[in-house]
Every structure is written in structure tokens, then in C-alpha cells.
């Protein structure tokens, strides 16, 4: 590897390095200042990448009490040593900042090619600070960094934004991270889009980008990141294709339907599918909107991310009445549920159009759909009226109202101005018992997996630092079978546990599984491509890429360090154990459709406290000073 202490003001074209460039690029939009800094490999080994680098930078650099939509918040884009290398499914990048939804940390991961291009440009981290006095976009072409006028781009949707920037730069291969009107209007759950259909979705970072008057970041690099052990990486890639992906059912579904295939009909039959704002009800219409039905009715092909043979992203197209544009992709599982079943909508074209509106306007589909489903229940209960909605019949199952409401949220017009705040804030403004209908944790709406059937997964919703995270989480069915438990035996866990259990052994299992999944967010390995792998595989990958001799124990400790740093950030910003709380709905049984009992609040509270103990945190979830020193967080 090139000497990490040697800085180049201009990178040589075609420069080669192994895994890391060890360089951080900083851009201050208030002053226009561009700076670079070099940190040694020890720093990157300690924090790895993605969520690790983001948590460290935000904890150390962001002043306490920073306004999430003020100029002092920072947007941190972080890669890992694996990003942009020859390892399959290595195209992801992390994004983080202080969340306008939760007031705590927001940690996102996103695919496409943008992260790989930033690595080729010679950077591991981009930190955006300050606020421009007018709309701008940032252009990164190796070490040629420029802040450009974006007045003509302000108001454009993501497809048009990407086309306009590429035309201005004269480069159709430039990769664009951007916001649409939803981010410009600071919808609190706006996301950052890599291209027109890959989203850094959770926590409202698109609103943070809009608050900085930053429309987009265009990246193009000429470098060639290499790996330490090329043959070793080839062997790992071969194992992924020839064994892991062939044997694991989900990967077989992904290449055919993307996320959310015909198996969603079985999920509906057992009550696992979110329906009607998580109330539950029979939803036979799932047969019209799962991945198989979407492919048959609207499908025109599949796309994928950098370096990944799994082409799991749908492309859809249709004519009247909605005229769906294939450039915006199609709904993945989370969108099928949040905009579909959870809103009671089984019109596949209305669902696809609502998904397109979200991608075009940079709105998180999970929060958009969940907030609209909340409003639909309020409307059906008489808490919201036609006068409140501007004449829009926001009832479950009404596809045209779903599409129109997505547009109104992006514009912050009519009822959309209220819903753009997210369901927690909207409920507080509405009153009249609406708060009992808001389904979120720390203001962040949950991924579309039924926690009443999965108490350990529900615990993950509670304790994840960035709210109800479904990715850095563990499904209880993993612990219920001998096959699922095989990778935990090397960690000292031997016995299966039933779904409904949430005792100390299940919590201990959850903890080691949780930090394993959180590790993906640091290494930026695709959760779907690597689902079901043990700690050994990530350790082998990072060793083959960097030349470090990494084993599972080091990665476990690293994940604990990152989770604890994120927790310290949240504690400093005023979040407490009382914020690690599930919404009332999840303690209620599902009585319509397949019966599902509600979670036991006392058992969940005990599980939470035991998780704190295992993490080295006190009863209020505050990391103990000894644990902070032990992990070397402030070294």
C-alpha cells in the first residue's frame, strides 16, 4: 500500500492503492473551503468504515445540541476498505448526520455506483459542512473539487437532476448523489438518492442536504483500488456464487423478482404482513402487488449495483393512467408493504406510481407509506376530516389518494405540509388520541416486518441507535432451527429457542447477531447478498482486501465500539432509555385476519435492560465510563 502519511495535492491518473486511500475530503459550503486530511491505517482498522467512521466523526466533531437543519450539522459520506474493490456486492456507501426525525444519529447505507466512484477518486470519507447561500452542487473529479451553481437545478426531480449535471459536466458516467423537491422542501423523512432509484433512506438526511442548499454531489474517479490477495478474493467470490447464493433461498428469489416475491402471500396468511397501519386485516390483494405480480404486469428488466452479479432491482413501465417511468425503478419489499399492504392498496400501478413519486422527489418509502397509513387510520376514525385533507379521501385501499398524498408531501402542500413532519409530530399537532396510532421508534418508522411475531427483532427496533432499523437487526426464526443456529455454536450458543421467547438467552443471542448485522453497516457489505453468513466470512474478506490479519473476535469488538459510540452520541443529544420504546400498536394483538398476540411490555422492558447490561451500559442505557475506556472510543 502507498505510504498513508504521504499526501498528494494531485493524484496521478491511474494511481493504484490497496483497499484504503486513507484520505478524508472536507468541503465547507459556508466558506467554499476544500481541505484534505490523512489518517493512518490504524484509524481505519479501529472504525472500519461506513457507520463506524460516521459515528466517530459525528461524536467527536458535532457540538452538543446542534440543530439538525442548521449549518453546523455535518453530512458524512463514508466508505470501507472493501468499497469499490473486486469483492462482489461492494458498491455501497454510508451516509450519516444528526437526524431531524429523532434528534439522534442517522446512519444509512445505499447501493448503486456512487460509493465505488468516490473510492476511485481517492477518498474514503467526504465530510460536508456549513450551508451555501444559494443552491449549489459539488463536483469531485479525482482531486479537482468544485462547488457549482445549482439554481437551474433547484426544483428538478432526481432523473432530470442527474441528466442535467451529466450534460453540464460532459460526462455520462458521472455518478450523482442528490435530492429532489422533497429534500429541498426539508420533508423530515427525505432521503438522499444515488441515481433515480437507490436511496439512503432513513432518518431524514435528504432534509439535511436540502437545509445546506446542496442539490447534488457528482463524482468521477480514475483510480484503481486493488486488493491485497487477489486469488483469495476470487475464491470468496466463487464461494458466494457457487455455494452461498445457490443454497440460500432468498438469493434465488432476488434474481427472479427482487425483494418481495410470491412468498409474501404466505406472510399474509400467518399475519406477518403489515396491513392497514399495522392493525392487521385479511389482505388477499397481496397477490396483486408482490414481486411476481409486479414483474408479470409491469416488469421490463432488472438492474443491480457495482460489482454485484445479483440483479435484484426492478425496472417497471406502464402507460395510462399513471405512465410509470422505468428510470425510477420499482418498489422493493419495503415499498410494497409501506405503500401497498400497510395502506391497504392492492392496485399495482398506483403502488408503482407512488414508489416513483418517492424516488423522483427523494422521499423515504418506508416513512412516506407509514405516515400516510397513519393519516388513513386517522381519517377512518374521524380524527381527520375532508376539511383537514383538502377533500382527499384518505381511506385504506384508495390508490389515487395514496399517489396524490405522496405528491403533496413532497411539495409540503395541503395535508402534505402536516404529514411531511412524520407521524410523531403530525400526531402531536392533531391531538385527539392520534398519538396512539403513530407507529415509530425515536420518530423513525419501522421496516415492514411484524415485531409481534418476532420479539428479538422488536428489541432491535427499540435499541438500534437510528430508530426502528430493520437491516441491522435479527429475525427470531434464525434462532428457532438447528440450521439457523449452526453459526452461533462457535460463539458458545448451542440450543434453539422458540419464536416467542425473549428471555436472557434469546437476548444474548440477539446481541451477538445484532452486532454481526451492524458489522455489515461498517464494512458496507450488502445485507441481502451476505445474509446468513457468519463472522468468519467478513473477517476473511477484510483480511484478503487489506492484508490485515483479522479474526471474528476483532470484528465483534469493533461493532461493539461503533454501537457504543453511536449510543454516546444519542445520550449527549438527550435521548434516554425512555426513547427505546415501542409504539402502543405493537403491544396490541392483531384480531382481524390471522391472530397475532401483542408483545408483553414487561418482558420487552426486561429484555432491553439485559441488553444494556450485555453491552456494558447502565440501566438508563448510558455506556459506563469503564466500557468507554475499554473500547478506546476517545483514544
State whether 565 and 614 are in the same domain: yes
State whether 414 and 497 are in the same domain: no
Whether pLDDT at 12 is above 60: no
Whether pLDDT at 13 is above 60: no
More confident residue, 210 or 90: 210
Whether pLDDT at 123 is above 60: yes
Do 471 and 517 meet the contact criterion of CB atoms below 8 Å apart? yes
- What is the total residue count of the chain? 635
Cell 482486501, residue located: 545
Q: Does the residue 6 lie in any domain? A: no
pLDDT in tens, 63-84: 999 999 999 999 999 999 999 9
Name the domain boundary from 437, 463, 492: 437
How many helices (H) and strands (E) in the chain?
A: 26, 16
pLDDT in tens, 336-366: 999 999 999 999 999 999 999 999 999 999 9
Model confidence band, residue 11 (pLDDT cutoffs 50, 70, 90): very low
State whether 222 and 283 are in the same domain: no
Model confidence band, residue 1 (pLDDT cutoffs 50, 70, 90): very low
Q: Is 4 left (phi over 0), alpha (psi -120 to 50) or beta?
A: alpha
Q: Residue 252 has which C-alpha cell? A: 434465488
Name the domain boundary from 226, 251, 285: 226
Model confidence band, residue 246 (pLDDT cutoffs 50, 70, 90): confident
b/e burial code for range 448-475 (CB count within 10 A of at least 16 → b): bbbbbbbbbbbbbbbbbbbbbbbbbbbb
Q: Does the residue 345 lie in any domain? A: yes
Please tell me the least confidently modeled range out of 81-85, 295-299, 448-452, 589-593: 589-593
Q: What is the pLDDT of residue 116?
A: 96
Please tell me the least confidently modeled range out of 287-301, 431-445, 514-528, 546-560: 514-528
Q: Does the residue 66 lie in any domain? A: yes
State whether 420 and 565 are in the same domain: no
Q: What is the pLDDT of residue 536?
A: 87
In whole angstroms, give the CA distance from residue 363 to residue 193.
Answer: 9
Q: Is 71 left (phi over 0), alpha (psi -120 to 50) or beta?
A: alpha
Q: For residue 125, what is the domain's CATH number?
A: 3.60.9.10
Q: What is the pLDDT averaged over residues 245-255?
A: 77
Q: What is the pLDDT averaged over residues 55-68?
A: 98
Q: Does the residue 251 lie in any domain? A: no
Q: For residue 616, what is the domain's CATH number?
A: 1.10.599.10
State whether 474 and 566 are in the same domain: yes
Whether pLDDT at 6 is above 70: no
Whether pLDDT at 150 is above 70: yes
State whether 210 and 274 are in the same domain: no
Q: What is the pLDDT of residue 221?
A: 96
In whole angstroms, give the CA distance from residue 520 to residue 503.
Answer: 26
Strand 93-98 relative to strand 16-18, pairing: unpaired
State whether 197 and 286 are in the same domain: no
Give bridge partners of residue 96 from the DSSP assignment.
76, 107
More confident residue, 4 or 253: 253
State whether 118 and 203 are in the same domain: yes
pLDDT in tens, 431-447: 999 999 999 999 999 99
Q: What is the pLDDT of residue 312?
A: 87
Nearest to 586 by CA among 463, 458, 425, 469: 458
Average of per-residue pLDDT values in the chain: 93
State whether 335 and 206 are in the same domain: no
Q: Does the residue 521 lie in any domain? A: yes
Model confidence band, residue 249 (pLDDT cutoffs 50, 70, 90): low
Q: What is the pLDDT of residue 440?
A: 97
Q: For residue 266, what is the domain's CATH number?
A: 1.10.569.10
Contacts of 135 (CB under 8 A, 6+ apart): 149, 150, 151, 153, 154, 213, 215
Do 458 and 449 meet the contact criterion of CB atoms below 8 Å apart? no
Sheet holding 214-220, edge to edge: 144-149, 136-141, 214-220, 175-178, 192-194, 198-200
Q: What is the pLDDT of residue 488?
A: 86
Q: Does the residue 232 lie in any domain? A: no
Please tell me the least confidently modeled range out of 150-154, 486-490, 596-600: 486-490
In whole angstroms, give the CA distance from residue 328 to residue 158.
Answer: 9
Please tell me the least confidently modeled range out of 398-412, 466-480, 610-624: 466-480
More confident residue, 565 or 593: 565
pLDDT above 70 as % of the chain: 97
CA atoms within 13 A on the CB side of 538: 30
pLDDT above 90 as % of the chain: 83
State whether 50 and 140 are in the same domain: yes
pLDDT in tens, 485-534: 888 888 889 999 998 999 999 999 999 999 988 999 999 988 777 877 77
Give bridge partners of residue 301 from the DSSP assignment.
315
Nearest to 563 by CA among 187, 5, 64, 59: 59
Q: Does the residue 352 lie in any domain? A: yes
State whether 172 and 266 are in the same domain: no
Whether pLDDT at 285 is above 60: yes
Whether pLDDT at 100 is above 50: yes
Q: What is the pLDDT of residue 7?
A: 34
State whether 428 and 469 are in the same domain: no
Name the domain boundary from 380, 413, 437: 437
Per the structure, the complete domain to which residue 264 belongs is given by 259-437
Domains identified in the chain, total number: 3
pLDDT in tens, 572-583: 999 999 999 999
Model confidence band, residue 17 (pLDDT cutoffs 50, 70, 90): low
Q: Does the residue 392 lie in any domain? A: yes
In whole angstroms, give the CA distance from residue 104 to residue 388.
Answer: 31
The model carries a pTM of 0.95
Amino acid at each position: 500500500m502507498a505510504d498513508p502519511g504521504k499526501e498528494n495535492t494531485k493524484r496521478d491518473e491511474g494511481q493504484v492503492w490497496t483497499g484504503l486511500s486513507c484520505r478524508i475530503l472536507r468541503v465547507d459550503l459556508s466558506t467554499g473551503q476544500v481541505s484534505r486530511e490523512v489518517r493512518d491505517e490504524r484509524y481505519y482498522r479501529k472504525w472500519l468504515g461506513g457507520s463506524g467512521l460516521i459515528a466517530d466523526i459525528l461524536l467527536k466533531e458535532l457540538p452538543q445540541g446542534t440543530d439538525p437543519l442548521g449549518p453546523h450539522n455535518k453530512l458524512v459520506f463514508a466508505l470501507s476498505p472493501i468499497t469499490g474493490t473486486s469483492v462482489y456486492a461492494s458498491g455501497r456507501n454510508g451516509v450519516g448526520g444528526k437526524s431531524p426525525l429523532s434528534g439522534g444519529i442517522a446512519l444509512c447505507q445505499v447501493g448503486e455506483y456512487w460509493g465505488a466512484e468516490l473510492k476511485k477518486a481517492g477518498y474514503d470519507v467526504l465530510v460536508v459542512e456549513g450551508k451555501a447561500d444559494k443552491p449549489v452542487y459539488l463536483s469531485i473529479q479525482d482531486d479537482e473539487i468544485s462547488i457549482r451553481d445549482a439554481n437551474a437545478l433547484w426544483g428538478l426531480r432526481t432523473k432530470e437532476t442527474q441528466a442535467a449535471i451529466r450534460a453540464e459536466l460532459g460526462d455520462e458516467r458521472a455518478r450523482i448523489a442528490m435530492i429532489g423537491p422533497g429534500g429541498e422542501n426539508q420533508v423530515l423523512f427525505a432521503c438522499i438518492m444515488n441515481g433515480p432509484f437507490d436511496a439512503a433512506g432513513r432518518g431524514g438526511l435528504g432534509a439535511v442536504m436540502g437545509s445546506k442548499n446542496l442539490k447534488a454531489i457528482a463524482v468521477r474517479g480514475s483510480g484503481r483500488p486493488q486488493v491485497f490477495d487477489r486469488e483469495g478474493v476470487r475464491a470468496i467470490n466463487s464461494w458466494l456464487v457457487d455455494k452461498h447464493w445457490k443454497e440460500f433461498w432468498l438469493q434465488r428469489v432476488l434474481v427472479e423478482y427482487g425483494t418481495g416475491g410470491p412468498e409474501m402471500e404466505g406472510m399474509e396468511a400467518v399475519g406477518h404482513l403489515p396491513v392497514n397501519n399495522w392493525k392487521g386485516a385479511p389482505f388477499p390483494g397481496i397477490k396483486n402487488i408482490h414481486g411476481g405480480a409486479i414483474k408479470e404486469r409491469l416488469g421490463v428488466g432488472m438492474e443491480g449495483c457495482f460489482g454485484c452479479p445479483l440483479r435484484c432491482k426492478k425496472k417497471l413501465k406502464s402507460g395510462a393512467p399513471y405512465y410509470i417511468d422505468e428510470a425510477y425503478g420499482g418498489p422493493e419489499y419495503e415499498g410494497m408493504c409501506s405503500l401497498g399492504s400497510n395502506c391497504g392498496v392492492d392496485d399495482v400501478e398506483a403502488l408503482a406510481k407512488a414508489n416513483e413519486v418517492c424516488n423522483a422527489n427523494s422521499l423515504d418509502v418506508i416513512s412516506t407509506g407509514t405516515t400516510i397509513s397513519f393519516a388513513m387510520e386517522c381519517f377512518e376514525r374521524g380524527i381527520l376530516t375532508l376539511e383537514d385533507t383538502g377533500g382527499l379521501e384518505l381511506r385504506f385501499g384508495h390508490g389515487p389518494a395514496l399517489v396524490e398524498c405522496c405528491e403533496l408531501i413532497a411539495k409540503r402542500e395541503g395535508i402534505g405540509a402536516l404529514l411531511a413532519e412524520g407521524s410523531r409530530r403530525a400526531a402531536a399537532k392533531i391531538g385527539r388520541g392520534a398519538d396512539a396510532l403513530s407507529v415509530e421508534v425515536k420518530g423513525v418508522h419501522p421496516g415492514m416486518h411484524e415485531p409481534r411475531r418476532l420479539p428479538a427483532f422488536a428489541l432491535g427496533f427499540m435499541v438500534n441507535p437510528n430508530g426502528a432499523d430493520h437491516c441491522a437487526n435479527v429475525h427470531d426464526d434464525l434462532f428457532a432451527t438447528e440450521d439457523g443456529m449452526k453459526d452461533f455454536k462457535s460463539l458458545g450458543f448451542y440450543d434453539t429457542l422458540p419464536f416467542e421467547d425473549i428471555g436472557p438467552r434469546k437476548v444474548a443471542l440477539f446481541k451477538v447477531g445484532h452486532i454481526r448485522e451492524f458489522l455489515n453497516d461498517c464494512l458496507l457489505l450488502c445485507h441481502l447478498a451476505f445474509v446468513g453468513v457468519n463472522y468468519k466470512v467478513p473477517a476473511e474478506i477484510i483480511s484478503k482486501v487489506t492484508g490485515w490479519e483479522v479474526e471474528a473476535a476483532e470484528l465483534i469488538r469493533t461493532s461493539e465500539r461503533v454501537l457504543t459510540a453511536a449510543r454516546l452520541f444519542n445520550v449527549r443529544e438527550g435521548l434516554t432509555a425512555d426513547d427505546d420504546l415501542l409504539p402502543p400498536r405493537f403491544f396490541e394483538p392483531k384480531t382481524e385476519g390471522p391472530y397475532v398476540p401483542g408483545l408483553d411490555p414487561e418482558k420487552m422492558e426486561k429484555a432491553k435492560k439485559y441488553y444494556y447490561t450485555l453491552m456494558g451500559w447502565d440501566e438508563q442505557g448510558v455506556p459506563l465510563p469503564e466500557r468507554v475506556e475499554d473500547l478506546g472510543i476517545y483514544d
